[in-house]
Amino acid sequence: MKIIKLNAIDSTNSFLKEMVTDSVVENFTVVVAESQVNGRGQQDSVWLSEPFKNLTFSVYISFKNFKIQHKKNLLFAVSLAVYGAVKEATNLQISIKWPNDILSGNKKICGILVENSIQKDKIRHSVVGIGLNVNQTNFSEAIYKVSSLKLLTQKNYDLDALLKVIVSKLKERINQLENKQFEQLEGEYLKVLHKKNTPAMYKDSKGVLFMGFISGISKDGLLQIKLEDETIREFGIKEVSFA
């Protein structure tokens, strides 16, 4: 595992993507930022992190023969890797909020961004960005429903050691992906999916409120919510939220 440490950078994902364009990059190369000033989340949202307190890093993953039709399983693999590492390090009661945030209760402790390079019907490689709140204890008032491992456990964590555990888990899960263990990945993901089979109030992109419960993930990776009338609606990223 090759680890590149940078003092300050706009975005580890952007840096690693440029690196892949300009040179040959070893599989599972990791770019870590001590301070990330313009971290990116899903749909161009911003990930804010206090310097030297958290893990903000990106991992390069290349594939031999991974078809785009199975891309939802990549999200399962990455989410489960981080979930497993945090669980092992802390033993906290945590869950995965679709598609790939890690929560403790209803508070976010980790965000994940997966960016794929596609050629014809295959994903050639992915850059996986991970932002995990570790030792930070103060957060901006503008950000609500967030927490960190230290706030939750009252312990300090070795960032380098935790990074190695996450990457190790990631390798294991990607190996499952390469071996086409899709049913196992999806089954494990659904077991720890936040609000799975639990009635909740949701809001769609038009601001309409409705009751329902998460029933699964579609073949195309959309979130499936069963409504009170037993019909199922499907939603993409940012098309639905908890009310």
**How does pLDDT run across 186-217, given as a tens digit for each residue?**
999 999 999 999 999 999 999 999 999 999 99
Backbone angles phi, psi at 170, to 5 degrees: -65, -40
Residue 22 pLDDT > 60: yes
Residue 40 pLDDT > 60: no
* Mean per-residue pLDDT, 10-37: 93
Q: What tens digit of pLDDT does each residue of 90-101 get?
A: 999 999 999 999
User: What pLDDT is stored for residue 8 in this prediction?
Assistant: 85
Which of 217, 214, 236 is closest to 225 using CA atoms? 214
What angle do helix axes 159-178 and 182-191 make, rounded to 10 degrees? 130
Contacts with 229 (C-beta within 8 Å, 6 or more apart), sequence order: none
Residue 88 pLDDT > 70: yes
Residue 105 pLDDT > 90: yes
The CATH architecture one would assign to domain 200-242 is: Roll (2.30)
User: What pLDDT is stored for residue 239 in this prediction?
Assistant: 96
Taking all residues of the chain, what is their mean pLDDT, rounded to a whole number?
93
CA dist list (Å): 24 to 90, 113, 122: 36, 22, 19
Q: What tens digit of pLDDT does each residue of 47-73 get?
A: 466 888 999 999 999 999 999 999 999
Domain 3-191 grouped into CATH 3.30.70.660 = no
User: What pLDDT is stored for residue 123 in this prediction?
Assistant: 98
**Residue 38 — pLDDT band, cuts 50, 70, 90?**
low
- Is the pTM for the entire model greater than 0.85? yes
The structure tokens listed for 105 are 């209760």
Q: What percent of the chain has pLDDT over 70?
A: 94
Domain residue spans in the chain? 3-191, 200-242
Residue 43 pLDDT > 50: no
